[in-house]
Amino acid sequence: MSTTVVTVSPGLGYKQVADLLVDMGVSAVPVVDDDGRVIGVVSEADLLHKVEFNGADVHPALFERRRSRQAKEKATGETAAELMTSPAVTVLASVPLTTAAQLMERHDIKRLPVLDDAGKLVGVVARRDLLRRYLRTDDEIRADVVDGVLLGVLWLDPIEVAVVVADGHVTLTGKVDRRSTAQIAARLTRALDGVVGVTDELEWAFDDTTLQRRYTFDV
């Protein structure tokens, strides 16, 4: 996430909000109250309703759809409080990246306010932030596999396992002592930043997973 967050107060005017989005090069800003809590988000889409209905009748019809009614209401808005989408879709700083990505996809939004456990705004995560984990070189990824997984966690001699990385895809070959070791190596490698896929070609001397299954069954 980005910890330098641009926010607006509920009373900020339409033009000031529009100018801020343009000047800061962002698509949306959180609206926060005096306690620093997020009460909504104003996006470019919220501001464009005024352009969409410029000069048109914005009085909602009796049986008008909810989305259309809200759009017309925002077209008459003059402050951030009247323009914002509320409640805001937010995410806790402690949740996995996959959760943030799923929320963005589900709600079709580009930016998520990030909150601490007390509900205070601590940052904003954007779609480009989620993609940044994949913008790593193959050499950096390979170093993480060798130093972090093989040496750091499994205490394996890198000579025993060959690690080849091409465009973020990792191929593991070689022979280790146990089948569970090979499985752990592949699983930890998949979790590394920048890894888009893993081909597990590791062999093993002893299948300890069969022994584990038998022991569990006997118990």
Is residue 196's pLDDT more than 50? yes
Give residue-wise pLDDT tens across range 24-34. 888 889 999 98
Q: Which of 93, 114, 132 represents a domain boundary (last residue)?
A: 132
Which pLDDT tens digit goes with each residue over 111-146? 899 999 888 899 999 888 887 777 788 999 999 999
* pLDDT number for residue 26: 85
* Confidence bin at 71 (pLDDT 50/70/90): low
First-to-last alpha carbon distance for the chain, in angstroms, is 46
79 and 48 assigned to the same domain: yes
Q: According to the model, what pLDDT value does residue 85 have?
A: 87
153 with 124, same domain?
no
Please, is 214 exposed, middle or buried when counting C-beta atoms within 10 Å of its C-beta (0-12, 13-18, 19+)?
exposed
| Mean pLDDT, rounded, for 81-90 | 89
Q: C-alpha 133: how far from its chain's center? A: 10
Residue 176's domain comprises 138-218
For residues 31 and 105, membership in a common domain is answered with: yes
What are 46's two structure tokens? 């919220």
Give residue-wise pLDDT tens across range 198-215: 999 999 999 998 765 554
Confidence of residue 70 (pLDDT cuts 50, 70, 90): low
Mark whether 27 and 92 lie in a shared domain: yes
Reply yes or no on whether the pLDDT at 105 is more than 90. Answer: no
φ/ψ of 182, rounded to 5, equals -65, -40
> Distance between CA 119 and CA 37 in Å, rounded?
7
